[in-house]
Amino acid sequence: MFLSKLRVIISFVCFYALTKVVRSSEWKYSETQQWYKDAPQCGNSAQSPINIDTMTALPDARLGVLKLMNYSQTLSGGQFINNGHSVQLNFPKDKSFRLAGNEMTDTYTALQLHFHWVGSGSDDVGSEHSVNGHYYDAEMHIVHIKDPYTSVDDVKSMQDGLAVIGVFLKVKPNAADNPHFQMLLDTAKMCSFIGETADLENGPSLISLIPESASYYRYNGSLTTPPCYETVLWTIYQNPVIISKQQLDSFQSLKKTKPEPDENKDPNGYDDHASDVHDKNYELGDNYRPVQPLNGRIVTAFFDIDLSKEVKEPDTWHYEGRNGCVTYIR
């Protein structure tokens, strides 16, 4: 009798744990205020993203140009996946992209990058972080994990277990396509619907995706999606990268899932001419979490020197600029 009851209890616990995992995996951006119910850390006090107030951001002498190791390698060999919340590029396993900094006691290895962007027909909110209340059209996150760990669960209790670089993307009127991001979009747009994957055969270098200016803001925060672990050392580049309107359109063409068949229009297929309201139910865009309160956290800043002025004496570390140029930092 005791063993029978024990099996029932164990079965119930396993079922409860499974349903909790399933529910937490079904979170929606339209329900950000409810995330904490299945992911309690989403209700904690050091959450991301935030609004960066440039008047209160404190210059920090300990900070310096980020040490970007092997960022000149291409991303060829990585794989894009539409995960239903964003389009994500998992980095090739045979390449190592690593990050360090003057004040960092550890190094980090890059795992993936993904994007957040404004949906079609929406307002000007596309980026997750904002600067003085201003949002950009999109935001790219490059996610790194502290060496030698490989799983987010391994570092979920560390304040600096993950290091994420944020890059704002700005649409400039009449701008030409950004060739580096176009190399990504040519493959990403093959992942039109959730679960679809595509191998990146011809990728840009990772260094070509970040701003030429090395200025950035720094703060401690969290993942911006459930489970919202407060384990992220955030680095947000000050200057945006310019993309074209056509490239933003490519992001906005990605979907969460296929629309349901419209029997009144095409009983044998999907309605490619659905109304904007109908389409909004399936778009992948507007995939941003609202900014969270600072709750006493300090935002620090590093302001770039003129990288066009080459220092003659090379140091061990260097910042690799675009077009193969190398500027050494003392």
Amino acid in the structure at residue 186: D
Q: Which is nearest to 205 in space by CA: 67, 92, 80?
A: 92
Record the tokens describing residue 18, joined without a space.
Answer: 């499974």
Amino acid in the structure at residue 1: M
Look at strands 326-328 and 216-221 and give their pairing.
unpaired
Q: Which is nearest to 86 in space by CA: 231, 251, 260?
A: 251
Greatest alpha-carbon pair distance for the chain in Å reads 81
Record the tokens describing residue 202, joined without a space.
Answer: 């011809």
d(CA 131, CA 203): 30
d(CA 181, CA 211): 12
Q: Which is nearest to 48 in space by CA: 112, 116, 1?
A: 116
If phi over 0 gives left and psi between -120 and 50 gives alpha, with beta otherwise, what is residue 77? left
Residues serving a catalytic function are: 85
**What letter would DSSP give residue 205?**
B
Q: Which is nearest to 94 in space by CA: 84, 106, 104, 79?
A: 79
**What letter would DSSP give residue 243?**
E
